[in-house]
Structure 1
Amino acid sequence: MKTKNLINLAKVSMFSLGLFMTSCSNESFDELPNPVGEQPQLIEKFFLGESIQVEDLGEGLYLHDDVIFTEDQLTDSAINFNKSPEPGSDEDQKLGLAGGVRKWPNNTVIYVLDNSLTSNQIQVTLNSMQEWSTKTNVRFKERTNENYYVTIRNNGNTCNCGSANLGVIGDRGRINIGTRTSEVVMIHEIGHTLGYIHEQNRSDRDDHVIIRFENIQDGAESQFRKSNSAQLIGDFDIQSTMMYGAFTFSKNGQPTITLLDGSTHPRRQPRLSAGDIAGTNQVYPGDGGGGDGGGDNDICAGVEEWVRGRQYNVGDKVTYQGFLYERDFTRWNRIGQCENTNPGPADICEGVEPYNRSRRYSPGDEVTYQGFLYELQSNFRWANQGRCGN
């Protein structure tokens, strides 16, 4: 991975958690104590094998602080989450059950601006996208006919707040923002959409900050829980856009997070840190993750074979059993076949319809799902055939 500040993308791959709860449903980026009012009914779910408290939003969606999970990303009981899977190990799983967190194909976030947005919210959104697109390899494209995208909506609250799904999740992706949402908050929520989790949940955070639990609102303690399932990348980054503020979830006006010397870190600014930029460019590499060999017909040229036991980071590419794979947040994505001198159509998904939950499929049928092509096998399991656009 690149250098120390690698978006410590723990945030990146740190979709493990200690995530969050709710209150305007989210952390206060104004860095003022959140009002302690009636709290929502919370239930226990498990994300990547770790317990979290979530609010059931209905329609298979669950809210934990400012992160919205889908039912496919959560389980009802603890599971043995494998942090170092073998490439291809989950390709025969039920469609979408690979779950976890998945990055956006081709470095491009496909979005829809909902009619509920005010002109100010739209401008804040576009400004925040520009911060990401001018400093990283991430791009944004307004949806035309893509079957995976994120819808940006007004949540109706007069607050500087927001919530967002983790990674790309088909057509169910959401970023919900308040009428007073600033670029500071929107840049952060886009980070969640890219797959990043909060910085203070890293397992090594105690080497850098002190969590002042005595000052945290009752019921919000889980927002500061360390995650043991996180894939730490780079050094802890106190300046990251994914870092909680010093007074987030304070119940008494005192800091909930301090540096080791007891001082508080500066209020976050509407910009990405050096670590955010470096980490994002590793997770979303310049070639879009497609393994472009600079004109070489073999997409696997120069890419090393996968090695069991070696630590891989999001964005890393390997070859395995004749295919090129790229490491995603919780799995490997198959990009294409090695030594492909006849690449065929420019897009393997061209003409293939998106997966429809209500439709009955037969072996041999192909569908697109979250930016990938799947084929139903004779054992009625879906097999990943590669990323769309290849």
Structure 2
Amino acid sequence: MKTKNLMNFGKAAFLCLGLLASSCTNESFEEVAGTEETELIKKFFNDDVVLVKDLGDGTFLGGDIIYESRQLTDQKIGYEANPIPNEELDERLGFYRGVQKWPNNTIIYVFDSNLSNNQRQVSLNSMQEWTSKTNIKFKERTNENYYVTITNNGDNCNCASANLGVNGTRGRINMGVRTSEVVMIHEIGHTLGYIHEQTRSDRDDHVRILFENIQNGAASQFRKNENSVNIGEFDIKSTMMYGAYTFSKNGQPTIVQLDGTTHPRRRPELSAGDIAGTNQIYPAGDGDGGGDGGGDGDGNDICEGIDEWSPNIRYSVGDKVTYQGFLYERDFNGWNRLGECGDTQTADICDGIDAYSRNRSYSPGDQVTYNGYLYLLQNNRRWSNQGRCGSN
């Protein structure tokens, strides 16, 4: 992840991280045979090609990443790397494109009843790795209307898959029977919105991909993403980096460093780059429901000390700007309104507001909550972000 692996793509065929089991000493990893290329569908994610398998429920599997249909397109649509704040969403709010951060730095989760005791403990241990070293928090769901379900996929492997970012009630992490902390820490990275490190746009300056050693159907998982959001330097130690032998078909490495050597196997821990990147993308002060921007929650203007948005600056995820009298925070694919300048963080603006439903018809003036934000339907049938839940 390193803060950089943020928007890389593609990967097809069901994954499992790591080196070949025969090359590991005290941590066993498996490789699952790649899906034949003829079974994969070509889609675009942020205008970069991904090869995915249609799961038949409105989601698509690309390696260990579960894409929502709203995150993919059938053709390039003109990816905007530096969008203007306050872009409104069309009437189908539930089909908002792209990847969204978890509000308030907090992943809301549910343990499925089919999880084994070991899978639960692996999940808790992996959460602890993130909470002990970054600004990320985890909260078991009570009545929240957006959360990720951690479930057992029934496969007897050290493998898993996960959605990218927060996805309403549809988000999930599918664990194999023998999923380890190494894999689960990686999948939590996907849930936070991060993509694989080896597909970032500058990877060729640091590693070589040996396609001749990659399993049939798995080559797409090493496809370079030209529109990746890369914060910081390439991090070969990142939890989001594939192992040197991942998807090898012949016991030879699939990734080597520029000098031809292989990098060390993954460990069940975040790298220094993972930690720094996460704390930039999910900055301190966003995890308590208040204190965004320059305000500190004791009466200060939330926009105090925050610069106005500029079309000449390339912003990173987590950056804050003011625009037309409001405070915004950069998300993976756009901007989220946090509140109106002059406001202080006192009450929850979402109190009493129902969650958005795809099965309900709305009229101008209606308000809903969606993925931790308050939205207002305007006369032009477009939703306007009114601010983050938990703030005023």
CA distance 1:137–1:81, shift in 2 (3 Å): same
**Structure 2 length normalisation: TM-score?**
0.93
Percentage of matched positions with identical amino acids: 62
Q: Matched residue of 2:93: which SS?
A: coil
Question: Where does residue 362 of structure 1 map in the other structure?
Answer: 363
Structure 2: distance between partners of 1:109 and 1:8: 19
What code does the residue aligned with 1:27 have?
A: C
C-alpha displacement of 1:38: 6.2
Structure 2: distance between partners of 1:385 and 1:268: 42
What code does the residue aligned with 2:362 have?
A: Y
Question: Where does residue 329 of structure 2 map in the other structure?
Answer: 326
**Structure 1 length normalisation: TM-score?**
0.93
Question: Where does residue 3 of structure 1 map in the other structure?
Answer: none
CA distance 1:273–1:354, shift in 2 (3 Å): same
Residue in structure 2 matching 1:9, options 3, 11, 24: 3
Question: Where does residue 50 of structure 2 map in the other structure?
Answer: 52
Structure 1: distance between partners of 2:145 and 2:19: 36
Question: Where does residue 196 of structure 2 map in the other structure?
Answer: 198
What code does the residue aligned with 2:293 have?
A: G
Find runs of 4+ consecutive structure 1 residues off by over 6 angstroms: none
RMSD: 1.6
Question: Where does residue 376 of structure 2 map in the other structure?
Answer: 375
What code does the residue aligned with 1:199 have?
A: E
Structure 1: distance between partners of 2:218 and 2:390: 42
CA distance 1:35–1:89, shift in 2 (3 Å): closer
- Are positions 1:314 and 2:317 aligned together? yes
C-alpha displacement of 1:297: 2.4
Residue in structure 2 matching 1:31, options 5, 16, 20: 20
Q: Matched residue of 1:264: which SS?
A: coil
Question: Where does residue 336 of structure 1 map in the other structure?
Answer: 339
Question: Where does residue 113 of structure 1 map in the other structure?
Answer: 111
Structure 2: distance between partners of 1:221 and 1:157: 23
Structure 2: distance between partners of 1:148 and 1:382: 18
- Are positions 1:139 and 2:137 aligned together? yes
Structure 1: distance between partners of 2:180 and 2:186: 10
Q: Matched residue of 1:121: which SS?
A: helix
Alignment of 1:1-390 (within 5 A): 7-12=1-6, 14=7, 16-17=8-9, 19-22=10-13, 25-32=14-21, 34=31, 36=33, 39=36, 41-91=39-89, 94-288=92-286, 290-291=292-293, 293-294=295-296, 295-340=298-343, 346-390=347-391
Deviations 1:314-371 (A, max 9, x none): 1110001000000011101100000126x6x611111111111111111111111111
Equivalent residues, number = 377
Deviations 1:234-256 (A, max 9, x none): 00000000000000010100000
What code does the residue aligned with 2:3 have?
A: L
Structure 2: distance between partners of 1:293 and 1:383: 23
What code does the residue aligned with 1:95 have?
A: L
Alpha-carbon contact 1:216-1:249 (below 8 Å) kept = yes
Q: Matched residue of 1:170: which SS?
A: coil
Which deviates more, 239-248 or 43-52? Answer: 43-52
C-alpha displacement of 1:51: 1.7
Structure 1: distance between partners of 2:200 and 2:321: 26
Structure 2: distance between partners of 1:376 and 1:38: 43
Structure 1's unaligned 5+ residue stretches are 1-6
C-alpha displacement of 1:82: 0.3
CA distance 1:105–1:35, shift in 2 (3 Å): closer
